[in-house]
Structure 1
Amino acid sequence: MTEREPEFDFTLLLDGVDTITPSLEDSLFQAGCDDATISLRFGRIYLTFSRSAPSLKDAILSAIKSVRDSGIPATVLRVDSCELVTQADIARRIDRSRQLVNQYINGSRGPGGFPAPACNITDGALLWNWCEVAHWLWENNFIKKSDLKDAQDLTIINSVLELEHQRQRSPDLTKEIITALC
């Protein structure tokens, strides 16, 4: 008896199409997106997948490939997963209270060394990079290695998709900045 691959649920946001048509649906289905539901909200078409694969990364990458193979005039903008999180988001993701997460942040509980906020430092509505928080949580045995891996994979996939998107929108500026920074 063979072991079934786990199933992963995720959503891909598309750019370049704004109407769901039978042709769009057929092209996506024939390209292998038969495990996705296509939807439109606030002018954005998105695909919600329930895909079997060895890992979340493999599921997402194969779904992106299927969309690209469909021949539709769209690109995958990103995986609908926010890498910037509030204290409340962190608490929800690890199923702990906001008060406990606040104690981790201020060092009054836990091993200390919680990651610094990533942005909104002057506004007071602090946001943390989920991947950095997940790394701290894993190092301190609060989450499983697979949760850290998923956070890392999502961050890198979305970073690459964003870079591709910016290269299409502003190729000269993107090239200039990459050259200056690399």
Structure 2
Amino acid sequence: MGFAGGVWIQQLVVVLADVPSAAALRAYEDLAVDDGLREGIGSVAVRRPAPHLADAAMSAVHDLEAAGLRPLRIVTGDWVTLADIASRIGRSREIVRLWSVGRQGPGGFPPPLNPGCDTSFYSWAEVGLWLRRRMGYELPDDEPVLVAINLALQLRRLMPRLSHPDAIHALLDG
């Protein structure tokens, strides 16, 4: 994110179902084919003026869909390993591992997103909240808007395949 000419410039990367052509994006001057991800994975770098990240993300998704592309998710950096967490807060991987298994710290460390796998991934949004509330870390409280947008994009893709979508609607309605 940056500030230019009195307007916030939001920056993000959107992962697509297909590799886009530059021609597909020609109508949008703030969208560009991103070559930062692995070859064969389509992604678009977005630099868009908007007061909030959510506004930039949603308008980019709508513009990409209007261009005939299928946005899958926005790169968030939310899935992290214990080593990633340690690196972000300047602590050892071992102390973070001890927190995660309850042998050190106040307990209640967020569970992995993929329990039972050899490499565990955690939600940085959840871990950051735990670090602030339980450990007193002064970390930025980033609104998990991109995580929520990614869940919405995934839900949109999955709804046509669900045999009982009413259960999902009921859960969302509260």
TM-score, normalization: structure 2?
0.74
Report if aligned partners of 1:90, 1:101 keep a CA contact under 8 Å in 2: yes
Question: How far 1:6 sits from its partner (Å)?
Answer: 4.0
Amino acid at match of 2:71: V
Report if aligned partners of 2:11, 2:48 keep a CA contact under 8 Å in 1: yes
Report if aligned partners of 2:19, 2:43 keep a CA contact under 8 Å in 1: no
After superposition, residues 9-158 of structure 1 pair within 5 angstroms as: 9-15=11-17, 17-22=18-23, 24-27=24-27, 29=28, 34-39=29-34, 41-68=38-65, 71-121=66-116, 123-140=117-134, 141-144=136-139, 146-147=141-142, 149=143, 152-158=144-150
Identity rate, percent: 29
Unaligned runs of 5+ in 1: none
Amino acid at match of 2:6: R
Residues 1:99 and 1:4: Cα distance change in structure 2 (over 3 Å): farther
TM-score, normalization: structure 1?
0.71
Q: Give the corresponding residue for 1:178.
A: 165
Q: Aligned pairs, how many? A: 163
Question: How far 1:79 sits from its partner (Å)?
Answer: 0.3
Question: How far 1:129 sits from its partner (Å)?
Answer: 2.7
Residues 1:153 and 1:93: Cα distance change in structure 2 (over 3 Å): farther
Unaligned runs of 5+ in 2: none
Question: How far 1:124 sits from its partner (Å)?
Answer: 3.4
Distance across 1 between alignment mates of 2:158 and 2:130: 30
RMSD: 2.8
